[in-house]
Structure 1
Amino acid sequence: MVRFRERVVERLAGYEGRLVGLARALHADPETAFGEVRAAERLGGLLEGAGFAVERGVAGLPTALTAVCGSGDLTVGVCAEYDALPGLGHACGHNVICAAGAGAAVGLSAVADELGLRVKLLGTPAEEEGGGKALMLEAGVFDDVTVAMMVHPGRADDVDPRSSTTAVARFEVVFTGRAAHAGLAPHLGVNAGDAAVVAQVAVGQLRQQLPDGYRVAGIVRHGGERTNIVPDRTVLEYEVRTPTAAELSGAKERVLNCFRGAATATGCGVEVRATQPDYLDLRNDEWLMGAYARGLAAAGREVPAPPAGPRRLGASTDMGNVTHALPAIHPHLGLAGADADPHTPRFAELAGGAAADDAVRAGALAMAFAAVELACDPQRRAHYLALRG
């Protein structure tokens, strides 16, 4: 196994500048969900140059891609995210995810054929909103993948397989009423703005009755046109989070009743539309996470000991859907010296700095080393191949 690791390191050394350049280019040119045109092209171009067969527009998604190299019965899928946040840019570090994923794939290409390993990088758009991985799963893009992995930047390395995320449902609510002059004849109107207010109050009252770990959040995207017009249309966006996917539908139904009740109270019509597939809770594969942790140590990182007690993070990811379908991991990759959490302006700054450059290399090596360990372990290899049928 050592000689395979050495060849991975040697291959990555020749690509390190290009990988860091990819992360920095994405950081300087952020694109949001399903609009990651230049990011996808940069990623695809780098992998084509490394000898991968690249297919663009997979699953009917213009900014999704796959890149394949090597042959064998064991297919390791590496997920690369590259969407940014509106107004915050790469405040979730997806530029690092993308470059580290590309690095893992390129490193493995040096040993893939000898190990009977097929490497499949999956360029997955719209993680922040839209569920690119869920859509790709539904389209069968993961059907030939034996195991999958990715890394996500954060304050510190986290290789605890118990770490999880919440399930989330996101939806749009539209209230429709009847417009009228707010000063001359308000009694002739049906106020969709009132429906939005009643719904928000109802949701606020519901929150105190929800179990620990449940979350409900929302915004009013459109509240009316002018103060002198009774609003005939309002649009809200809401999300419901629960610790597990099994709890999600029941919690969502309770929240939806708040909107239905608001429509009844105000005489408005109401329509609800899901804005993305539901995200499922994350289920990390224990052995794969252990292999990743060993790979991270071999890459020169001090691997933290898992803390005592259960672990569940408040965020959500469509990688959770992947972990429900096949063995997969989603460890956190620390940005050295990070003093902020993702989804903040400060983290966006960190994701474009020297610590992010170091994380790209460490994450790429750790994932590649984990795949090498799996390929070299006949028993474990047979186990995962049997799981995937």
Structure 2
Amino acid sequence: MEKTLKELADYLGGEVIGDENIKIKGVMTIDEAREGYITFVSNIKYIKKIEETSASAILVSPGITTKGKNLLVTKNPYLAFAKVVDLMMSPEKVYPGSLDNSARVSDSAEIGANVTAYPFVFIGENVKVADNVVLYPGVYVGDNCQIGKDTVIHPNTVLHRGTTIGERVVVHSNSVIGCSGYGYAPDGKKYYKIPQVGVTVIEDDVDIGANTTINRGVLGETRIKRGTKIDSEVMIAHNVEIGEDTLITSQVGIAGSVEIGNNVILAGGAGVAGHIKVGDNVQVGGWSGVIKDLPPGGTYLGTPAIEIERMRKCFIIIQKLPEMKNTIKDLQKKIEQLEKRLGSD
């Protein structure tokens, strides 16, 4: 597919500086781009590369100018880049719209129009699958599950009984949703498994990465709200509620009964202790440990997670600890010598 720079500008709502009739056939990185391709600059530290790139055009933010280069100016070049890739380079997805002969579908299941079930899919009793759903090979859908329209579930994913999946949800391979949580009651020196009899609800437009686990509620539900994006290898425990348009990146662990607000970002490896509340618009840095409630709107770092500016000062102090230790030892010696002198007077 080829588009003129003017056609791309109209599609993105941007403005062309330079030759609007130049043909674009794809997107490449600024270091690798060559004639016929468009690239982008979203970080100010890469602006100097605009002069060096061989790309036919560059997506830039307002205020960036350069001589001899074709620019497509947009408010958000990174978002524009994603949209151009989707428009010009994403392969068209064509699904059979039928159930493979090897798929096992219970008689009580309700299957919508144009549903695709690839080989060895299992669909249990009283399941409802809406129109245009795609179930890749090896997907297991337990009893009483519901899957909304236009949802795509990738290979070997497991939906345990009673799980509800909304519309336009994407679940990547080997994820497990609605499994029993980790709960045991002490019984002397042994432990008694607490039955997990709640459900899991995934609302519309949620993405879930590969190898992610989301437990069902002990009682009640675990709920992931609309538009939230969850990376691969994330662990979400029982009765967690995650708000709308929140980003949960890889290797995050969220313990039971946590409430996370809207537009929150949990960076890679962050951990949240049980029964914690994290307010709207909070950002938590990578490998941080949240052990107390966080009010809305702050940025936190470290273990335990504290305000980022305070933690940065702590990091500086930590690096100076060896020298500080030696200074303290020297001071202790001097104090001892003074005490001896005072004692002898």
TM bin, normalised by shorter chain, reads under 0.3
The structure richer in strand per residue is: 2
Normalised by the length of structure 1, the TM-score is 0.20
Question: RCO higher in 1 or 2 (8 Å CA, sep ≥ 6)?
Answer: 1
Normalised by the length of structure 2, the TM-score is 0.21
When Rg is computed on C-alpha atoms for both structures, the one with the higher figure is: 2
The structure richer in helix per residue is: 1
